């Protein structure tokens, strides 16, 4: 497949993807970005959101809670704190992700409350990203 890059997604639990993709949509901490062949080398932290990889097999989407993405000339490697294929994201599992984010926010120091609330908001937004 022309104009592709290698995409790998791993979490502590398992390897979730290793495909040739035409694009990878990444929920970066500083804003969403789309990596395609020829993208400049970049390393970014992830925020909670929906990561999508478009390949000859179609679009695969994953809920991620954080981690890192490295874009190089040869591809995209994502090391996620937690990653769940959207087709495996049950309402109970989604509620668990939200509860974890709320617990982190509650435990955050006073000077980090804004960032902690954004974490909860971004986690809640996974539901709307899953609908697309």
Q: What would the mean pLDDT of 49-60 be, rounded to a whole number?
A: 95
pTM as predicted? 0.88
CA–CA distance, 118 with 126 (Å, rounded to integer): 13
What confidence score (pLDDT) does residue 18 get?
96
Contact 34, 60 (CB under 8 A): no
What confidence score (pLDDT) does residue 7 get?
97
Whose tokens are 């974890």? That residue is 100
Contact 93, 84 (CB under 8 A): yes
The confidence band for 36, taking pLDDT boundaries of 50, 70 and 90, is: very high
Round to the nearest angstrom and report the end-to-end CA distance of the chain: 25
CA–CA distance, 72 with 69 (Å, rounded to integer): 10
Contact 62, 50 (CB under 8 A): yes
Q: What would the mean pLDDT of 41-57 be, rounded to a whole number?
A: 95
CA–CA distance, 70 with 82 (Å, rounded to integer): 16
- For 19, list phi and psi in degrees, rounded to 5: -140, 160
């Amino acid at each position: 497949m022309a104009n592709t890059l290698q995409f790998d997604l791993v979490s502590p639990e398992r390897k979730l993807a290793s495909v040739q993709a035409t694009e990878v949509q990444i929920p970066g901490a500083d804003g969403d970005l789309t990596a395609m062949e020829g993208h400049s080398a970049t390393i970014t932290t992830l925020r909670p959101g929906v990561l999508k990889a478009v390949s000859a097999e179609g679009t695969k989407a994953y809920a991620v809670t954080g981690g890192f993405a490295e874009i190089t000339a040869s591809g995209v490697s994502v090391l996620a704190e937690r990653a769940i294929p959207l087709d495996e994201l049950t309402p109970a599992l989604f509620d668990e992700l939200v509860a974890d984010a709320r617990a982190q926010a509650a435990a955050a120091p006073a000077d980090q409350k804004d960032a902690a609330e954004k974490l909860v908001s971004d986690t809640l937004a996974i539901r709307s990203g899953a609908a697309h």
